[in-house]
Each structure stands twice: as C-alpha cells, then as structure tokens.
Amino acid sequence: MIKCKYSGSVNRTGKFQEAPGVARMAGMTRVAGMTGTIGVCRVLLALVALCVSQNALSQDAGLSFRDTRLAQKMLGALTETMIRDITAPPVASRDYVYSMIAFYEAARPGKPGYKTFAGKLNGLATREGDSAVLPSPDPGLAYNWLVAGAAAFHKTAYALVFSKDLFQHLYDSAGGEIRTRKIPADVYARSVKFGEEVASVILRWTKQDQYGYTRTLPRFTPSKDSGTWQQTGPEYMEAVEPHWDQIRPMTLTKAHQFAVPEPAAFKTEAFTKEYMEVYHLSQTMTKDQRAFALFWDCNPYAVQTVGHLMYSIKKISPGGHWMGITSNAINQQRQGLVEALYAYSLVSVAVFDGFISAWDEKYRSNYVRPITAIQQLYAPTWEPLLQTPPFPEYPSAHSVISMASAMVLTGLYGDHFQYTDSVEKSFGLPNRSFHSFVEAAREAAMSRLYGGIHFREAVENGELMGQQIGQQIVEKFGLKRPD
C-alpha cells in the first residue's frame, strides 16, 4: 500500500478532481481533453509514479531514527578521541558545540520548521558579506541530510581535535555504514559538498572566538596568599585554562553576566563551617552517597598510582556526560536526525556557556580547595574520595553545566521526563535512574560535596549560575520554560 499526500477522485465526466484543500502536484497541470478511462488511468499512473518517487525520496533522505543512531556513533568517535587525549573540560565543550552545530545546520534544511541558529548565537551572522554566513542548499536538487550533516561534523571535529589520526580512525569505524547505503552518486557528492561548505563557515566562526589568542597568554601562577588555590596531588598539575573567560560565549552577553556571591572569607566562622562539613561527610557518607559521587566524577585528569608508576584513568568529561544523557533522552523518544541534532546542539551551547561563566568566576575568586584547607587547618593526612581537579574551587563547574543542561533538556522533553542514565556503564559503573533532568543535575552537583572536592557554597551557587544560563537559552530558543 502506497501512502501519498496527493489525493482526489474521478468525477462524472471522467476527470480527476483534486480533493479539497490538497495542493496540486508540483510541476503538473491539467491536460485539456484528458477524459474517459484512458485519460483517468494516465493521471492515476502519474500519481502512483510520483508517490513512489516521493516516498522513496523521504525514506532515503537520511532523517530517520536509524540515521540518528548512526550520527550517535559519529559523536561517540569525537567523545572517545577527547577521552584519550585527556582534553580539558572547557576545551571539550568547544569541540562539542561547534561540531554539533555544524552537524545540525547541514542537516536542518531536510526538516522544514527547524530554524537556523544564525542570528541567535554570538558571531554566527545572517547578513550577506559577513564571513560566518551559512550557505543554503539548492531547492531543486535532492540531498541526503545524514551525509550532509556527517560531512559538516567530520570536517569541523577533525579541525578541532588534537589527535586527528585517532579521530579519523574512530570516525571511519563509526560511520562506515553510510557507504553501504544505496545513495545515488550525484546525491552523495552533492550532500558532501554542501556539508563541507557549512563546515567551512563554522570553522571561520571558530577563528573569531579568541581561542587562538588565549593560547598565547601566560600560564597561571598560584598566589602565596592564604585561602587561595594551590596545586594538589597526586600530579600537582598547573591550573587548567586560566584565560577561558576571554572565549566568546554563545548566548551570554559577557562571561560574568550571571555573577554569584563571593565565597566565605578564609578562616572565618563561615569558612570553618564549610570545610568541617566536607570533612564530616567524608567520614559518614552512605553507600549510595559514595556511589553517586563516583558516578558523577567525570574527571579526565584522574590518575592511579601503582608503586612508582602513575597511570591515567580515562574518564569522560562533565560535558560529555550530559551529551550522553541527551542521547538517552533521544533514544527513549526515538527521535529523527534533525530533532536529535537540535537537542545535542542546544545542550552543547549550555555546556559551553556554562564553562565560560564558571571559569570566569573560578579565576576571579581563586578560591582554595577543600583538600588544601582541611590539611592545613584540621587533618593533615585527610584525602577526599575523588581526586581534586587542577583549577580553583569556586564555583563548582559541574554544578553549573549540569543545571544549565538540565534546564535545556527540560525545555525540550518536559519537567518529569523519567530516564535511566547509562553513560558511565562503559566505565564500569552501574546505571542510575532519575525522575527528571533537574533531579539528576542536583545529584551531580551534590556529588562534588560528597566527593570532597567542593564546598557547599560552590555547589549551591554553581546550581544558581547554571539555572540562569539554562533559562536564558530556553527563552532565547522558545522552549517550554521549566516549572
């Protein structure tokens, strides 16, 4: 049975009559004298042929849930590359956001109703003559939108990652299925060309975000003042990305648009309360509290020491975890390609802006970590459950990006979207189930307190910062505002 959007009937004179409200077939006109059985048959045969063509085109356009699943494998290649490269979480957020926007913008024309991000994101222009103006496909030609999107994603991600050969190998393994599909050669070539044109614009856009400039700036020198951030074991790494506040955000007007209160001053009564809570929780936490602290660790810098040797423990970044949660939601809803890419892109925007905002405050307050404070002031041999990452404490960036992502996902899927988070399964940790994205974000934030790497102030004010960032994205893109 062939379903067709064109319908009608044969009237008493033997002429085909279009059904009320149905548009006439593109490129077809009424033919004078086309009456009787032969004429009607010719019209109906033309209808059947056109409907077969239309259905074949829609089935091969690369827009189905099957295509989404293949796109997720490609995204997985990017994530795996960044894990192996030990990419800094802020830098990983940059790789994600540009790659996913490129994927979305190249596939988007295949799904009318989904609008471009141009004009809504800082620096992505809509005016002709600007360097970052996205191209449009030829409306008279056929495209495969998965092929177009994949070409844009590949070219963008390849340009951004450090280990290009590794990414190429992983991408080829992930996207090999495309080459087995029966896509006409001209359609395939045209789609790749369009996708690469989109990627070229996106890459020009990346050149304007100050990333290259921040590579030239001096390293961060820890202060000798009490109450300030100091390098911590076991690696005593230098501070990561101290100039990330100078990166151009996607939706923020400035890095400190959503400022949070200053943290408690060192050695005050309020500060003593903060570090003593961290210490006591480390001694009294329940089995579940320990489990969710480990589940949300997401520390790409974690290492394991065996004798005199030190091994890197490969872990996903906080942003990568929330991209994985987005995959969980997409798969649960069995969303088509463009719908899925829209979700990935918006979440990546939330993560990217969240890191810029959090990093701006981190290096402004330059606040001491719990391990330094507790060892100096209370218990010299104390160690937290989680390894302390190499950058200042306040606020908790994981709290910021988790709540920002949760706001966006809630705007996309609703306030009470129940799901199972399977992101950490490949890292040997059991799944965790949640009744909403906000519930998950709050658990992720509190994991930093139980893990011993953040004070409560950093967690709660990080959540507040993330909520404001996420709600701004929700409003900017007309999503449903969370309750």
302-319 per-position pLDDT tens digit: 876 666 666 677 789 999
Residue pointed to by tokens 């450090």: 162
Instruction: Indicate the SS3 state at residue 4.
Output: coil
Q: Look up residue 306 and give its DSSP letter.
A: E
Return phi, psi of residue 139, to 5°.
-65, -15
CATH number of 221-246+249-476: 1.10.606.20
Residue 331: CB atoms within 10 A of its CB come to 16
Domain boundaries, the chain: 8-59, 65-209, 221-246+249-476
pLDDT of the residue at 313: 75
- In terms of DSSP H, where are the helices of 161-268? 164-175, 185-206, 211-214
Buried b (16+ CB within 10 A) or exposed e, 375-403: ebbeeeebebbbbbbbbbbbbbbbbbbbb
Whether the pTM exceeds 0.85: the reply is yes
Secondary-structure percent of the chain, ordered helix, strand, coil, rounded to 5: 55, 5, 40
pLDDT of the residue at 18: 41
CATH superfamily of 65-209: Phosphatidic acid phosphatase type 2/haloperoxidase (1.20.144.10)
pLDDT of the residue at 135: 95
| Interstrand relation of 303-306 and 309-312 (parallel, antiparallel or unpaired) | antiparallel
Cα distance between residue 147 and residue 191, in whole Å: 6
The size of the chain, in residues, is: 483
Rounded (5°) CA angle 55-60-64: 95
Cβ–Cβ < 8 Å for 4, 54: yes
List pLDDT tens digits, range 168-185: 999 999 988 898 899 999
- In terms of DSSP H, where are the helices of 336-481? 337-365, 370-377, 397-413, 437-450, 456-476
Angle formed by the axes of helices 318-333 and 437-450, to 10°?
150
Cα distance between residue 189 and residue 144, in whole Å: 10
Residues 6+ apart with CB under 8 A from 199: 102, 106, 151, 152, 153, 154, 155, 156, 159
The stretches in the chain having pLDDT less than 70 are: 1-60, 127-131, 304-311, 481-483
Cα distance between residue 175 and residue 173, in whole Å: 6
* 3-class SS letters over 411-446: HHHCCCCCEEECHHHHHCCCCEEECCHHHHHHHHHH
Q: What percent of the chain has pLDDT over 70?
A: 84
Q: Look up residue 207 and give its DSSP letter.
A: T
pLDDT of the residue at 131: 62
Cα distance between residue 477 and residue 482, in whole Å: 13
Q: Which amino acid would we find at residue 1? A: M
pLDDT of the residue at 133: 87
